[in-house]
Structure 1
């Protein structure tokens, strides 16, 4: 790490010559900007430079607007116009976890330097969210990240509702998420960067990265990202003395045992952006490296990424356009994924020996990374994922208008919906939820479902004027399918949007239903046979009078047909919708 310091000192001296110094620079690299300083900086920038515009998108849970600072060399700030001109959009998100503030300070300096030095790219429009979790940034202290090496004070991970916003991209409990999705869908970035700080294992690198999981991204976009963009980016960062490797997601207790890529489902920022064919990066500086080095590494990453996108802008824009078009006609969609352990690669890893010594606290063994024993080893690395479950898309989904939040989120994410002009009985597939698991403790405000088991029935169901039809022939098909198919890992169902259908509204009184049940068994020998078979295979069931009555009740016309029935129809054939 000592080799980095002279370079950092030169950077600091050259940047400090500019008039608009940031709090990071004024403090000698020990402090991060406050919210007030950050917003004040952005307002000064747009007053001084016509190539910058400061926008507001909705509000956040703390009542302040979500801001976007846009840099456009042509002074065109209309996303539709810019897309028509073939400009590539790079969206940089800062402060989703404000205790990880490097991106905030690095972005402030990069914005100023690009404008001051007149180095704005010709073919790229840069969009910066100065801070996403404003709520957490205002909750400032020196204590919430106990193992972090600076700055002196910083924000808090949770927002005003104590939500982790990097788990909120599908369920959208926060106003922050609503406003961000509005922003994202308006600008439709080709490249998305989410700046973070990591904890976990110790190693020699100042910064690691999570790229959009390559197997989940559209093949053409993935091929460009992995064979062109990332190799060049890593070479450039190495030239800057900020060598990088993939995020260290260890198998054992230390990295030399090997590790795997990160499975970024849609609840996460890059999992969400993947649904819309955007190349995504989560940048992870290492929390125990000096704060100033972490900021400069973040600065270098954004600068080098911008340069590559500028050079390849035409290719990147065209590749995403083709991906969006191909999604319209794609028939099969993977819903869930697992690591393919049969495909194992290697990478060169620069770490520190993990040794064990006696704990001064417990007297037991503890892990200790010995910086006096640096190493360079070839280790195993798995970054191939395979789908474990896929679905054939229907022609359309039909959604009762009563499910307000579902409708609002689909609209927010650019999904085109049509409404029925009159009451209609439609024939299609309906899911029956036959089994599922529910978390025993809340996770981000929800008791998530998982391991959903379904029975698919073809039936006729009455829908009403104003109910919604979502045809699956859109560039946002992945968002549609992965939220509306209940078995998908981050479906609306798994985030508890439809829990009311799991509650039975009517039942029976056992002492009264006994005689009716006995009569039903006399009249329906097949029902009696099914009951006898159930008794034979399930001893617990055989010893429960109530369970046997319930078995009969649920196969009678008295049992409500909507209990455990997922309310959204899969319409397989085109229907004329009035």
Structure 2
């Protein structure tokens, strides 16, 4: 009897939570100015996984630093199968943290959020229709490169990770080119789970103002119109109203038109290199919260927590509507025939939004002696400012029936496979007459950008020609969910096309040339046989004095109009099949 009583007493020591893991986060255990390290975050989520059957943390593929990328799934009905969850008409909300590890509010806020929604019955009910996916730390290499100085303009935390990953890549410029293993793994997660809504938590740089939270929502002009109407008419207003109630009045991301926000702000047109630019290609509604760098870290964490709380509430409330609209958007994308590839701001369309700022003033710099800008926090104000958020397409393309991609371009093929693009291969060598682009003009950056010398302002000429393709070359039909992704990467005029990211640069270099003294006689023969060519040469000499003085340039002009000039020079290798024909597949 005594032994039994003693055992009972021993078991009771420590109270009712005896044996349960400590789920206070490193942020909560600290002083409000500390953020979890990568190892602390992963160990904490492992404890959460052990404590709750509704949580499963799973490693996906690797990252550039050799550590796995983890995905945490919070599913209150304990179903962790993406296909099953979609069949149950659950909404999938993917929250990503630490793409820039020096901007870590989301890391700490999401840990607390996941725990609170499991422990609080009222909050848990908001997950009845919604499954949370969490990437605890996306840029693991950057998170391991911890310091206290590289975020020069930021107010805390005490230490944090670095923006570049293990290859010194900015991962929020890598979603289309996928140079990093991180991005390749993200694509695997994204395409398998097909989230309805995506959040990528950040911290802003730029002007000083009173707002703690700013927000980038997927630019509505480039989002499917069905989803854009819901986003602008219902979802974004709900988030703004919720944050106002929570005493974190929000404003769009401060991409200001001039030196200060007083001159108005411009909506951010996120091309597919960015997270939400990529996710929009699959009709996923995306958000980039950007807390204000100069606010104390604890305020930024709280604002991020509240925005995610409002996001869950909105997604859960509108779960059926979001599912219906997104299904419709997917069908519309399948049927869509014309796709915009580039955009420009329409400055004639502007609206006024409320803004809480500080007066911009100027004084003499103690460093340069020149006039410098500063914001006077003793002069706060509230006023309406201009917001420009309407863009018009400048380049539009007709969707082909299929693209045909020679297998030689394996870097491109590998990236399409990463995105689970449906592809078939030719069973035998085949000549196919199809539309082929020639690169007529382009610009190239003079400095490297994320490991590339990025092209832009591409102009193409289209020729319908017979071309030889070989057994094993790839045929990609545009009758699949990846339609818009395919157009964005395979049309060279698109802002973030694979051409612009240099994957086809070898076509831009001529491989065969001529010796002037040898070609002189042959060129003269061609001019005798072709009076029209002679006429064009003479007209060019009249129009261009420099050309008229340059004998080599004139020989080259003739050379380029003879069979000796290689037809593959500047020929974009991806063919556009505009009519459906039977192919040996």
TM-score by length of 1: 0.96
1:469 CA displacement: 0.8
SS in 2 for 1:114: helix
- Higher mean alpha-carbon deviation, 146-155 vs 360-369, is at 360-369
**What whole-Å deviation, never above 9, does each CA across 1:374-424 have from its counterpart, x for those lacking one?**
001111111001101101111111000111121122222232111111111
Larger radius of gyration: 2
Q: Does 1:539 align with 2:545?
A: yes
Residues of 2 paired with 1:568 and 1:495: CA distance? 15
Q: Determine the structure 2 residue equivalent to 1:246.
A: 252
Residue in structure 2 matched with residue 106 of structure 1 by the alignment:
109
1:117-516 equivalences in 2 (<5 Å)? 117-118=120-121, 119-120=123-124, 121-516=127-522
Distance across 2 between alignment mates of 1:236 and 1:19: 31
In the alignment, structure 1 residue 91 sits paired with structure 2 residue 97:
no
SS of 2:101's partner is coil
Distance apart, 1:56 and its partner CA: 1.4
For the 8 Å contact 2:353–2:385, the answer to whether it is kept is yes
Contact conserved, 2:21 with 2:47, CA < 8 A, in 1? no
Q: Is the 8 A contact 1:51 1:71 kept in 2?
A: yes
1:254 and 1:438 mapped to 2: Cα distance?
Answer: 30
State the Cα deviation string for residues 511-530 of structure 1 (Å, max 9, x = none).
11111111111111111111
* Cα contact 2:402–2:577 (8 A) shared by 1: yes
Deviates more, 1:109-118 or 1:39-48: 109-118
Shift of 1:18: 9.8
| Residue 25 of structure 2 is aligned to residue 31 of structure 1 | no
Identify unmatched segments of 5+ residues in structure 1. 1-16
CA contact (8 A) 2:21 2:51 kept: no
Match in the other structure for 2:24: 21
Q: 1-side partners of 2:179 and 2:547: how far apart?
A: 40
User: 1:351-394: per-residue Cα shift (whole Å, max 9, x none)?
Assistant: 00001111111222111111110001111111001101101111
Whole-angstrom distance in 1 between the partners of 2:471 and 2:370: 68
> By how many angstroms is 1:252 displaced?
1.4
Q: Which sits farther off after the overlay, 413-422 or 124-133? A: 413-422
Whole-angstrom distance in 2 between the partners of 1:421 and 1:74: 47
2:62 is paired with a residue whose SS is: coil
User: 2:93 & 2:329 partners in 1: Cα distance?
Assistant: 17
**Distance across 2 between alignment mates of 1:226 and 1:529:** 59
CA distance in 2, matches of 1:496, 1:311: 44
Cα RMSD over matched residues? Answer: 1.1
Q: Quick one: distance in 1 between partners of 2:344 and 2:521?
A: 51
Question: Counterpart of 1:82?
Answer: 85
2-structure distance, mates of 1:501, 1:57 = 36
Post-superposition shift, 1:453? 1.2
Query: 1:577: Cα distance to partner?
Result: 2.1
What do the CA deviations read for 1:42-80 (whole angstroms, capped 9, x no partner)? 111111111011111211110011110010011111111
Inter-partner Cα distance in structure 2 for 1:540 and 1:84: 68
**Could you list the per-position Cα deviations for residues 449-505 of structure 1 after superposition, in whole angstroms to 9, with x for gaps in the alignment?**
111111100010011111111111222211011110000110000000100111111
Distance in structure 2 (CA, Å) of the matches to 1:502 and 1:217: 33
- Take 1:230 and 1:378, find their aligned partners in 2: how far apart are those partners? 19
Tell me the distance in 1 between the aligned counterparts of 2:278 and 2:542: 48
Give the superposition deviation at 1:147: 1.3
Unaligned runs of 5+ in 2: 1-19
Aligned to 2:15: none
Counterpart of 1:576? 582
Aligned length: 562
